[in-house]
Amino acid sequence: FLLDKPELGGLGLSTSDVGLVYGTFGVISLIIGGILGGIVISKYGLKKCLFPMALALNLPDIFYVYMAYSKPSLNLIYPLVSLEQFGYGFGFTAFSVYLMYISQGEYKTSHFAISTGIMALGMMVPGLISGYIQAKFGYPLFFVLVCLLTIPGMIPLFFIPLNEDNKRQTT
C-alpha cells in the first residue's frame, strides 16, 4: 500500500521512505509500545488490561482506512504508521503475557512455542488471501474490511477465564 503507485490506490512512497517509516520510526514505536504495555500490565494486571490493549492493537487499523481515502502527505504518514506500530507493540504485549499465563506445567516452553506457532499460522492464512481481496476491492474497502474483521476476534476476550489471584513464578 505504501509503495503502490497512487493510480493503483497506494501512497506511492519511495523504498527509502518506507524503510524510514517502518524500519526506524516504526521499530522505535513498536519497542516503546511493548515496554509501556509491560509496565501497564504489571501495574494493573492482565485481566483489566486485556480488552483495552486489544483495542490499542486493532483501532489503529482505522489510520489505514484514512490514508487509503485521503492520500495524506508524508508528514502525516510518519506519525500515523508510528502510532499504528506503537498500538501493535502495546497490544501484542497482552497477547504475549497471556501466552505465558496459559503455558504452565512441565512442558511450558513447548506449550508457549506451540501457541506462538498457532499465532503465526493465524497471520499467514489471512496473508495468503489478502492480496486477492485487496485487488478485488481496492485499498479503501480492503482496510474497512480489515477493521470489521477485528471485531469477531475481540469478542472471545470477554469469555477468557483469567484468575490472577494465583500469582505464578515467571523465571
Q: What are the pLDDT digits (tens) for 76-98? A: 999 999 999 999 999 999 999 99
Q: To the nearest whole percent, how much of the chain has pLDDT over 70? A: 95
Residue of 37, 56, 47 whose CA lies nearest to 159: 47
| Predicted pLDDT at 115 | 85
- What's the CA gap between 44 and 33, in Å, rounded? 16
Cell 501512497 identifies what position?
A: 11
- What's the CA gap between 50 and 53, in Å, rounded? 5
| Predicted pLDDT at 169 | 44
Residue of 81, 22, 90 whose CA lies nearest to 55: 90
Q: How confident is the model at residue 165 (pLDDT cuts 50, 70, 90)?
A: low
Least reliable range by pLDDT among 60-69, 117-126, 127-136: 117-126
Cell 499465532 identifies what position?
A: 119
Most confident of 44-48, 111-115, 160-164: 44-48
- What's the CA gap between 65 and 67, in Å, rounded? 6
Dihedral over alpha carbons 91, 93, 94, 96 (to 10 degrees): 130
Amino acid (one-letter) located at 13: L
Whether residue 170 is predicted with pLDDT greater than 80 in this model: the reply is no
- What's the CA gap between 114 and 164, in Å, rounded? 23
Q: What is the pTM of this model?
A: 0.86
